[in-house]
Amino acid sequence: MEDALTPRIAAGFGLFTTVVGGLLAAWGISGLRRLRRKQSAGRIATGVVVENMITTDFENSRLVHPIVEFSTLEGRRLRVQCVWSTQVKFPVGTTVQVYYDSACPEKAGIVGEGRTGAFLLIGFGATVFVFGLLWLATAMVATAVGR
C-alpha cells in the first residue's frame, strides 16, 4: 500500500494550522490595538475600588470585575463596574487610575488591565502559526524527496 496522499494531507493540515494560528494572533493584536486606542482617546481619572464582583465563566474560572468610584473631569461622580474582568482582586479602598470616554464614562476601565487575554491569544496564535509552518515545511520536503 502506497502513502502517496500522506504529504498532501500533511501539507493541507499545515496550511490550515498556519492560517488558524495567524487568525488567532491577528485577533489578539486587534484586541490590543482596540484597547490602546480606547485608553489613548479616553480621559484618565483617579478612582477608588469600592467592591469586587466575582463571577465564573463557562470553564469555571474566577473572574473579578472591580467596581470603582471616580469623578469625571466635568465633576460627575460615577460608580461603575469595570469593562474588563481580571484575575486580580483589588483590595477595597485601593486607589487606581481609570480611563473613560467622556461621551460614555459608564464604560470605564482600570489603566493597565484587560491586556492579559490579548497577550495570551497572540502567544497561542503565534505558537499554532509556527507549528503549522513547520508541519507545512516538513510536508513540502517530503513531497520534494518523493516520499
pLDDT band (50, 70, 90) for residue 19? very high
Number of H helices, E strands in the chain: 2, 5
The size of the chain, in residues, is 147
For the chain, the domains span 6-145
As a whole number of angstroms, the distance between CA 59 and CA 123 comes to 20
Contact 45, 73 (CB under 8 A): yes
pTM: 0.54
pLDDT at 114: 57
| 88-136 pLDDT tens trace | 788 899 898 888 877 778 877 776 655 667 778 889 999 999 999 998 8
**Strand residue runs (E) in 19-122:** 43-56, 62-71, 77-81, 95-101, 104-110
Q: And the C-alpha cell for 87?
A: 484575575
Greatest C-alpha distance within the chain? 79
Share of the chain above pLDDT 90, in %: 16
Helix (H, G, I), strand (E, B) or coil at 82: coil
